[in-house]
Amino acid sequence: MPQLRDSGTHALTGSDGVDAPRSPQYGTGERIFGIETEYGVSMTGGERRIDARQVAATMFLPVVAQARSTNTYLRNGARLYLDVGSHPEYATAETRDPLDALEQDLAGESVIRKLALQAQERIRAKVGEHAMVHVFKNNVDSAGHAFGCHENYLVRRYVPLPVIERELLPFLITRQLFSGAGRVTDHGFELSQRADYLDEAVSSATTRARPMVNTRDEPHADPDQFRRLHVIIGDSNRSQFVTFMKLATTHLVLGVIESSVRAGRASGFQACTLADPNLANRAISRDITGRTAVRLAVDRGDGNAAWHPEGSASALEIQQYYLDIVRKAVTADPDSVSGTLPRTDVSRVLDDWQELLDLIAANDVAALADRLDWAAKYRLLSALGGHGRRIDPWRAQQLDMDYHDIVNGSVYPALVRRGMMRVLVSEQDVGRAVDRPPADTRAAMRGQFVREAMWRGARYSCDWTRLTLSEPVHGEVVMLDPFDAGPSPAFDEVLARLEKSASQA
Amino acid sequence: MPQEFAQGRARGEQRADDSQQPLERAQAETQTDALDQVLDDIASTLETNAQDYVNSFVQQGGQ
C-alpha cells in the first residue's frame, strides 16, 4: 500500500484568516485540460526484425537533430518526447475546453504519424520495401506490457484527496461503459484495455504502483490554489466523440465536487463509494451490458443509505446516478456551469451522455458503434465471426490492434471513410492545431516562444511553467497561471531581446 | 480457443426482414452494406499473417 504523499489540502482562506490573492479562475468552475498519450510501436514486413527501441529511436532522429534531445516542446505548445520503454509520448498543450483538447490530441497523432512515416522510409532502405512501421494508440502490447493515456485536470486545492477518491473514482470506473476502447482477450471481449493492469486506486506515488488516479504535487500552477488531477485509468481512444465526452463528463462531475466542498455540503456522489474499486473495475470491464452489480462501501455517509440499501449497484445505475446529480446542478445554475466551457454546450453533453446510457441499457451495439471504440470493434468482429463462423483468435487480436494503429491501420480509416464513425474535427482544424497553440492558455506564450526561437536558430528549453532562452541571449519567463495566455511583460521583453540579438548577428 | 462474438438482436444488426417497418429495414440494410464495404476495404489486412503481426508488438511498460 503506497504511502499517500500529499502536501495537504489548502483551505479556502489563507492560514492567517485573510484570503490570499487568487487567480481569476479560482472562484469559477473553469478547468484546464491536458491529454498525455504513450504510443506503442512495432515493425512488420522487413527482411529482418527491428525491435521497438530501434523503431522509436529512428522516429526521433529528426527531433534529436533539431532539439539535441529526445524531449522537446513544439510550436503548438505541446511536449513531445521518447519515454522509458521506448514509447513516443505526446502531451497536449493546456486547453480550456474539451474540444480544444481533442483537436490538440489529434494534432499529436498527426505529429507522431509524420515521424513514423519518415522512420518507415529509413527502415525500408535497410530491410526492404515491404517494411511497415506501426504506431499504436492503445494500452497493451502482445506480451501484456501496459502503458497509458492520461488525462490532466486542474482542480481547486480545497478538495481533499479522500473526497476525490470517494466521489470521483466510482464515476471513473463506470465511465468505461462508454470510454472503454475494448479489448480482445483469451477470456472474452472486455470493455477496458487497462482494467487487468491497474493496482491501487488513488496514489501520490509515481511509477511503481499503477494507480487509477494520482494527484501531483507539481501542479504546474500555484500549489496554494490548484492541484493537478492525473487520471491514469482511462484507455487510449480513437473515437473523437469518446475523447471529447470523456473530458466533458469528468469536468462536470469535478464541478459538482468542487462546488459542494465550497458550499460545505455533500455532493451526493458519496452514495456510490465502492467497497473494492479494483475488483469493481475488472468486473465491469467484463460485461458490455453494464449490468453486473458491484459492491458499494458499507459506510457511505449520511442521507444516501437509501440509494441501494442492499449495498450493490450496476455500472449503468452508477453512471445514471452521476448524470442525474450533474443535471440537477446544471439546471439549478445553468449560466454558471455553461460559463465554465468556452466552446462546449453543456446541455448537449448531458443529452448525449443520457443517450449513451440508454443505448447501453438496450444493448444496442449497432447504434453505439459510430461513437464508441469498443462497440465499433465488437460490431466488426461480430460481422466477421457471425453466422456460425468463428473468428480465429489471432485475427481478432490483430484487428483489435490494427484499430489503434495510427500510421498503417486499415480498420479505423475504413470505418471513417464509410461514414460509420463520428468525426468531430476537420482535417483542416487538425492542421491548425499542429501549427498553433490554444489562444486562451499559457500554451499561447509557449508556442510563440518555440516558434520564434526555432525560426531564429536559438538554443532554448521549456518546461510546463518556464521558458528558457540560452543562446544567443539569455532569458527566462515564468508562467505560473495556466489560464493566463499573456503576453506578460517578461515574455515581451525576452522576445524583444531575441529579436534584437538576431538582427545584430 | 475460437472467439465467439454474440450477435445481439439489436436494431441495426438484424438482417432486413419483412417484420420490420420499411424505414427500419432500409436502415438495417444500409448498415449491413456499409459494414460489408468496410470488410472489403480491410481485405488485405485479413490476408496477412495475424500471429506474426500480433507478436511483433512488444514494448516495455510505460509510466
The domain that contains A479 carries what CATH number?
3.30.920
Domain count, chain B: 1
Q: Indicate which residue of A83, A141, A287, A429 is catalytic.
A: A83
pLDDT of residue B32: 80
Q: Is residue A80 domain-shared with residue A103, that is, in the same domain?
A: yes
Q: Cα dist. A73→A67, A69, A150, A432, A450 in Å?
A: 9, 10, 18, 17, 7
In a domain, A491, yes or no: yes
pLDDT of residue A82: 96
In a domain, A102, yes or no: yes
Q: Which residues of B touch A (CB under 8 A)?
A: 1-8, 10-13, 31, 34-39, 41-42, 44-46, 48, 50-63
Q: Cα dist. A131→A55, A56, A202, B11, B49 in Å?
A: 11, 15, 42, 42, 14
**Angstroms from A452 CA to nearest CA on chain B:** 32
> Residue B55 sits in which domain range?
32-62
Q: Partners of A228 in the beta sheet? A: A154, A216
Domain count, chain A: 2
Mutate which of B1, B27, B29, B53 to test chain A, going by most A C-beta atoms within 10 A?
B53
Return the H-helix or E-strand segment holding A112.
helix A98-127
pLDDT of residue A23: 76
Domain boundary among A430, A460, A491: A430
Say if CB A471 and CB A461 are below 8 A apart: no
pLDDT of residue A10: 47
In a domain, A23, yes or no: no
Beta-carbon separation of B59 and A362 below 8 A: no
Q: Is residue A458 domain-shared with residue A424, that is, in the same domain?
A: no
Q: Which residues of A touch B11 (CB under 8 A)?
A: 364, 366-367
DSSP alpha helices (H): ranges in A239-345?
240-263, 277-285, 315-332, 334-338
- For A286-317, the DSSP string reads T-TTS--EEEBPS---TT-TTSSTTSEEEHHH
In a domain, A234, yes or no: yes
Q: Which residue has the cell 518556464?
A: A466
pLDDT of residue A334: 87
CATH of residue A219: 3.30.590
Residues of chain A with confidence (pLDDT) below 50: 1-20, 203-209
Beta-carbon separation of A391 and B52 below 8 A: no
Q: Is residue A173 domain-shared with residue A86, that is, in the same domain?
A: yes
Q: Partners of A293 in the beta sheet? A: A314
In a domain, A101, yes or no: yes
In a domain, B2, yes or no: no
Q: Which residues of A229-266 are buried (b: 16+ CB within 10 A; e: fewer)?
A: bbbbbbbbbbbbbbbbbbbbbbbbbbbbbbbbbeeeee
Beta-carbon separation of B62 and A52 below 8 A: no
Q: Is residue A379 domain-shared with residue A494, that is, in the same domain?
A: no
Burial class (CB in 10 A: 0-12, 13-18, 19+), A332: exposed
Beta-carbon separation of B8 and A184 below 8 A: no
> Least CB-CB distance to B31: which of A206, A366, A401?
A366
How far is residue A109 CA from its own chain's centroid? 13
User: Of A106, A53, A98, which is closest to residue A76 (Cα–Cα)?
Assistant: A106
- Residue B3 scores a pLDDT above 60: no
Q: Is residue A55 domain-shared with residue A83, that is, in the same domain?
A: yes
Q: Is residue A333 domain-shared with residue A454, that is, in the same domain?
A: no
CA torsion, ordered A487, A488, A489, A491, to nearest 10 deg: -70
In a domain, B17, yes or no: no
Known catalytic residue: A276? no
Beta-carbon separation of A141 and B57 below 8 A: yes
- For A172-196, the DSSP string reads HHHTHHHH---EEETTEEES-SSGG
Domain boundary among A386, A411, A430: A430
Q: Is residue A357 domain-shared with residue A471, that is, in the same domain?
A: no
Q: Work out the average pLDDT over B10-27.
A: 54
Identify how many contiguous H helices and E strands chain B contains and give both numbers.
3, 0
Q: Cα dist. A414→A45, A228, A402, A418 in Å?
A: 22, 37, 11, 6
Q: Is residue A447 domain-shared with residue A417, that is, in the same domain?
A: no
Interatomic CA distance for residues A435 and A111, integer angstroms: 10
Beta-carbon separation of B8 and A206 below 8 A: no
Q: Which residues of B touch A85 (CB under 8 A)?
A: 59-62
Pairwise pLDDT comparison (A260 vs B15), residue with the higher score:
A260
In a domain, A1, yes or no: no
Q: Which residues of B touch A391 (CB under 8 A)?
A: 2-5
pLDDT of residue A219: 67
Reduce the DSSP state of residue A96 to 3 states and report it: coil
CA torsion, ordered B3, A178, A245, A71, to nearest 10 deg: -50
Return the H-helix or E-strand segment holding A462.
strand A459-463
pLDDT of residue A281: 95
pLDDT of residue A413: 98
Q: Which chain A residue has its CA at the smallest distance from B45's CA?
A: A410
In a domain, A13, yes or no: no
In a domain, A6, yes or no: no
Q: Is residue A379 domain-shared with residue A424, that is, in the same domain?
A: yes
Q: Which chain B residue has its CA at the smallest distance from A370's CA?
A: B31
Size of interface A-B (CB pairs under 8 A): 162
In a domain, B20, yes or no: no
> Residue A479 sits in which domain range?
441-503
Return the H-helix or E-strand segment holding B19.
none
CA atoms within 13 A on the CB side of A287: 17
Beta-carbon separation of A206 and B53 below 8 A: no
Beta-carbon separation of A43 and B56 below 8 A: yes
In a domain, B22, yes or no: no
Q: Does A38 touch chain B (CB under 8 A)?
A: yes
Q: Phi/psi zone of residue A134: left (φ > 0), alpha (ψ -120 to 50 degrees), beta?
A: beta
Q: Which residues of A touch B44 (CB under 8 A)?
A: 410
C-alpha cell at A320: 445514471
